Amino acid sequence: MADAIAASRHISIVPIDGGITAPTGFRSAAVHCGIKANPDALDLAVVAVDTFASMAGLFTTNLAQAAPVLVSKRHLEINQGVGCAIVVNSGCANACTGETGLANARQMTEDVGRELGCQPEQVLVASTGVIGVGLNIDRVSAGIHDACSSLAHGNGSVAARAIMTTDPFPKEHAVRVTTTRGSFCVGGMAKGSGMIEPNMATMLGFLSTDAQVTPAMLRRVLVESARDTFNAITVDGECSTNDSLVAMASGTSGVVIDDELYPALLDGLLAVSRPLALGIVRGGEGATKLIAVTVYHARTADEARQVARTIANSPLVKTAVHGADPNWGRIVAAAGRAGVPFDINGVTVRIGGILLFDNGLPRDDAAPQAAEILKRDTIDIAVSLGSGDAGATIWGCDLSAEYVRINGEYRT
């Protein structure tokens, strides 16, 4: 879809290697500093700008916000959207850790600032892992020193691995956007496997671009691109204490983003964010199937998202998909409790294109065909509300016994 939009705007978007460091002006490094027990597991990453960058961030709406979220929000306010680095640790969320946790998050930014020669307020910090466990700040500080000593332009892949927790695979992507006024790149990496819910931000995600863009415009495009990517996914309906999505723009490509080129930047962020977001869902804890829930013929896009989100989050729908049971009744029931008015006699439900519920009446003769489709690893559920012309898609996954096992043993 992004390619089609890009073509209509006379730009081209092609995938490239490099992840978060694909755009010029960015370096990264990753080390094992002792947070994770496995000595071979990377658990700390630093992403730095060669000079300074515009920065923007979106953070969890959970009232129980982790120390790194509080510190990063404050730093963005102080630095007015201009900074030089992000430091991320995995294996410990540094959430619900009181004043000590706040001091440790600030210490991480001070350590990076000292190594890079910038102010602590120009550094953002993110953490992911177990809630209620304190960081061993001495180990983290030593790791920051080692990471900052090995920053390089080609280290995007190791950084993507270092931010993982229960993720089964790293998630990174990058593209080159060519416009009539020159080319720029967009890169990114993300982690997320559990506690994923579309209620900004949903996970840890980091985006970079070498386009020249003001902090205000960068935040605008981050919000808009996240709406239908990172903010349109769900694994288990849980909103984490640490969710953060950060974008940085180095400006080193020389391509200045104004109102004319804003759509090109938006397309670039969408082209990177969508595969990262879908990777989070495919790598969801215990997930075996990717589910795309599309609601159309709604009165508004927001109402379509609300219904689609309710269906995608339904444990009954998720378990039915896992078991390849074409139980359209669960889909209709979830839609009916979403808080969006509609006439049941105008509703249709399709699974993989197979019509199972037609304007308020069942079509159970088609159930065997739908059951076969539900054995695939990618499932499309389409619901028409018969109320208007708007639509939206939310991506989710099935619910398996493995999800219960992972989360039943998470701390032990």
Tell me the residue type at 257: I
175-214 pLDDT, tens digit each: 999 999 999 999 999 997 644 455 544 479 999 999 999 9
DSSP helix/strand/coil, 201: coil
Rounded CA separation 127/124 (Å): 11
DSSP state letter for 360: T
Q: What pLDDT shows up at residue 238? A: 58
Given the residues 21, 109, 179, 202, the one annotated as active site: 202
Rounded CA separation 309/191 (Å): 21
Q: What pLDDT shows up at residue 404? A: 74
Q: At what angle do helices 137-149 and 98-116 cross, to 10 degrees?
A: 20
CA distances from residue 304 to 156, 238, 296, 346 in whole angstroms, order as listed: 36, 20, 6, 15
Q: What pLDDT shows up at residue 200? A: 44
DSSP state letter for 365: G
Is the Cβ–Cβ distance between 29 and 215 less than 8 Å? no
pTM over 0.95: no
Q: At what angle do helices 328-336 and 315-322 cross, to 10 degrees?
A: 160
Residues of the chain short of pLDDT 50, as ranges, are 1, 4-5, 7-8, 194-196, 200-202
Q: What pLDDT shows up at residue 85? A: 98
Q: What pLDDT shows up at residue 201? A: 40
Is the N-terminal amide bond of 247 cis, ω within 30° of 0? no
Tell me the residue type at 3: D
Q: What pLDDT shows up at residue 410? A: 57
Q: What pLDDT shows up at residue 237? A: 61
Q: Which of 237, 329, 249 is nearest to 84 (CA)?
A: 249
Q: What pLDDT shows up at residue 8? A: 47
Report the run of H or E that residue 264 belongs to, with start and end. helix 262-282
336-345 pLDDT, tens digit each: 999 999 999 9
Active site residue 202: yes
Q: Which domains does the chain have, with CATH numbers?
A: 2-282 (3.60.70.12), 290-408 (3.10.20.340)
Rounded CA separation 310/312 (Å): 6
